[in-house]
């Protein structure tokens, strides 16, 4: 038997280290990192786990069985091109580079094309689950040629998380950039879901509830239809006390500026480019942008009086609202998913990807950040309706019908409390507009025709019309 490794992994930051250890449970793995010390420290700690380290790329490549399978877990963008460039002189035809980072899908399409011209394989593979997922089982969204998928399938199935039925959270997504596209939309939905949760938190906080009281409500939410990884981890976050000399809840001491690394923004732009309403995702990005202008917000806060600022609802009323807001959040999250899947459907048509939406919902059931009970509902809905758009599927229509009025109530409560409802408001408007046969765009058309002779159509006669309005 060869003493070579079956897999190589480059990039030993948090994701790479954990993924390497996961892979090493069933394969011999060689690792490499640009900064050699990081690799040495990692091997010093985990070298006994079927892991070997190489300080030079040539030695790294030579340590691998052919065709070589090399997973990149480096920072998305230029670093990926830099690593590919320095690997190429040592690779042979048929070798496979797998990009497990959050690369932007056009880059993946370009890289696959460039490598295939050299008879080498490039495979874009979305990996979700953060450090814990990478170690114990992520959700994996692979895209590239079916031939390469066949080679990688047994490896990826072994390291993936499990869905509610115990099946691996990995499925072939589609050609070239499809895996990274689906991972990008996954992240966009993650932005929306987190923002919706933050808005519910903000509503309760504005009404005088402490972080730990909100933790009790979120704990309850995590036992019902909102059951999810994100609600689960929010409970200890809400209950955590400061350990640095105050008696406050730590959450109340965290600066209210949210970071972002780009996948939400990319998804938002895709919605605009492809003409699909994904306002929940776009508004979640906007909310982070506004949050980042902390100093300016502090200045404006001083200028505008808020007459509702110290008006809170009585505690027993807030208690009665808990199930209403639960239903409202559920409806809003269904709408965010419906928007995300609409975008996937449009991209699939334009990019000629044969996406299986039931399978995509299924592999998000485990391992990834948005893993949640709701994904079981979506998987079953897509399966029963042969992957029809979510808005049309009987189960989803019935769920939205049952919960939509509570989303209305939630939004109206939030407005009265002065809670900025970027996402919950967007979800309500999007749903009500999408399910309204008679919208307001006749007014827009009237204006456009008046100032720019853009013409309009009528609902009662065929043809294109223009009017001298004044």
| Contact footprint for ligand NBP (CB under 6 A) | 11-16, 33-35, 38, 73-76, 79, 82-83, 101-102, 127-128, 130
d(CA 318, CA 183): 37
Measured from the CB atom, is 166 or 259 closer to ligand NBP? 259
- Between CA 327 and CA 325 the distance in angstroms is 5
| CB nearer ligand NBP, residue 74 or residue 182 | 74
The nearest distance, CB 83 to ligand NBP, in angstroms, is: 5
Query: Which residues, listed in sequence order, are joined to residue 64 by a DSSP beta bridge?
Result: 5
Long-range contacts of the stretch 236-242 (C-beta < 8 A, 24+): 238/201, 238/211, 238/212, 238/214, 239/211, 239/212, 239/215
Helix 315-351 vs helix 178-206: crossing angle, to nearest 10:
160
Q: Whole-number minimum distance, CB 21 to ligand NBP, in Å?
A: 13
CA dist 310 → 305, 317, 371 (Å): 11, 16, 37
CA distance 395 to 18: 38
Phi, psi of 204 (to 5 degrees): -65, -40
Q: Is 139 helix (H, G, I), strand (E, B) or coil?
A: strand
| Residue (127 or 390) nearer to ligand NBP, CB | 127
Tokens linked to 464: 């294109």
**Measured from the CB of residue 131, what is the shortest distance to ligand NBP in angstroms?**
6
**In the bound complex, what is the minimum distance in angstroms from residue 248's beta carbon to ligand NBP?**
27
Cα distance between residue 268 and residue 281, in whole Å = 6
CB of 68 to ligand NBP, least distance (A): 17
Q: Which of 370, 400 has the CB closer to ligand NBP?
A: 370
Tokens of 328: 């409202």
Active site residues: 183, 190
Closer CB to ligand NBP, residue 108 or residue 195? 108
Taking only Cα atoms into account, the Rg of the chain, rounded to an integer number of angstroms, comes to 25
DSSP letter for each residue of 289-344: HHHH-HHHHHHHHHHS--TTTT----HHHHHHHHHHHHHHHHHHHHHHHHHHHHHH
Q: How far apart are CA 197 and CA 247, in angstroms?
A: 25
The angle at the Cα of 167, spanning 163 to 172, to the nearest 5 degrees, equals: 95
| CB-neighbour burial class of residue 418 (10 A; exposed 0-12, middle 13-18, buried 19+) | middle
Smallest separation (angstroms) from ligand NBP to the CB of 45? 15
CB–CB of 93/68 below 8 Å?
no
CA proximity to 104, closest of 181, 175, 11, 13: 181
- Minimum CB distance to ligand NBP, residue 33 (Å): 5
- What are the two backbone dihedrals, phi and then psi, of residue 239, each rounded to the nearest 5 degrees? -90, -10
Considering beta carbons, is residue 35 or 398 the nearer one to ligand NBP? 35
Q: How far apart are alpha carbons 279 and 343 in whole angstroms?
A: 11
- For the CB of residue 9, give the shortest distance to ligand NBP in the complex, in Å: 10
Comparing CB distances to ligand NBP, the nearer of 7 and 390 is 7
What's 456's DSSP letter? B
CB-based closest residue to ligand NBP: 101
**Residue closer to ligand NBP (CB basis): 75 or 274:** 75
């Amino acid at each position: 038997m060869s003493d070579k490794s079956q897999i190589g992994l480059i990039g030993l930051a948090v994701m790479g280290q954990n993924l390497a250890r996961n892979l090493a449970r069933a394969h011999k793995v060689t690792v490499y990192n640009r900064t050699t010390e990081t690799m040495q420290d990692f091997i010093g700690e985990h070298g006994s786990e079927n892991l070997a380290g190489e300080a030079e790329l040539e030695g790294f490549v030579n340590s691998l069985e052919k065709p070589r399978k090399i997973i990149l877990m480096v920072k998305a963008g230029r670093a990926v091109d830099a690593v590919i460039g320095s690997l190429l002189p040592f690779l042979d035809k048929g070798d496979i580079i797998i990009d497990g980072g959050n690369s932007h899908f056009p880059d993946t399409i370009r890289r696959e094309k460039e490598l295939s011209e050299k008879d080498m394989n490039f495979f874009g593979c979305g990996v979700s689950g953060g450090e814990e997922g990478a170690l114990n089982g992520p959700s994996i969204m692979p895209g590239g040629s079916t031939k390469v998928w066949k080679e990688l399938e047994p490896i990826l199935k072994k390291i993936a998380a499990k869905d509610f039925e115990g099946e691996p959270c990995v499925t072939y997504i589609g050609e070239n950039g499809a895996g990274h596209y689906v991972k990008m939309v996954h992240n966009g939905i993650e932005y929306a879901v987190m923002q919706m949760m933050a808005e519910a938190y903000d509503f309760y906080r504005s009404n005088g509830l402490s972080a730990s009281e909100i933790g009790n409500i979120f704990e309850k939410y995590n036992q019902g239809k909102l059951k999810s990884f994100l609600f689960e981890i929010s409970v200890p976050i809400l209950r955590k006390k400061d350990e640095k000399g105050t008696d406050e809840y730590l959450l109340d001491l965290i600066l209210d500026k949210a970071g972002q690394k780009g996948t939400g923004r990319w998804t938002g732009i895709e919605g605009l480019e492809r003409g699909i309403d994904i306002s929940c995702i776009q508004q979640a990005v906007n909310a982070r942008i506004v949050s980042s202008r902390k100093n300016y917000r502090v200045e404006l806060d001083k200028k505008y009086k808020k007459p509702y600022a110290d008006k809170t609802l009585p505690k027993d009323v807030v208690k009665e609202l808990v199930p209403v807001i639960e239903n409202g959040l559920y409806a809003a999250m269904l709408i965010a998913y419906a928007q995300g899947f609409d975008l996937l459907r449009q991209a699939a048509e334009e990019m000629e990807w044969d996406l299986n939406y039931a399978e995509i919902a299924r592999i998000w059931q485990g391992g990834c950040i948005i893993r949640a009970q709701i994904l079981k509902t979506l998987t079953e809905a897509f399966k029963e309706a042969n992957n029809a758009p979510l808005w049309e599927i009987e189960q989803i229509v019935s769920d939205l019908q049952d919960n939509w009025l509570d989303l209305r109530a939630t939004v109206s409560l939030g407005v009265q409390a002065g809670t900025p409802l970027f996402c919950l408001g967007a979800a309500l408007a999007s749903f009500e507009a999408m399910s309204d046969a008679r919208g307001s765009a006749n007014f827009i058309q009237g204006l456009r025709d008046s100032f720019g002779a853009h013409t309009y159509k009528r609902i009662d006669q065929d043809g294109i019309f223009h009017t001298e309005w004044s």
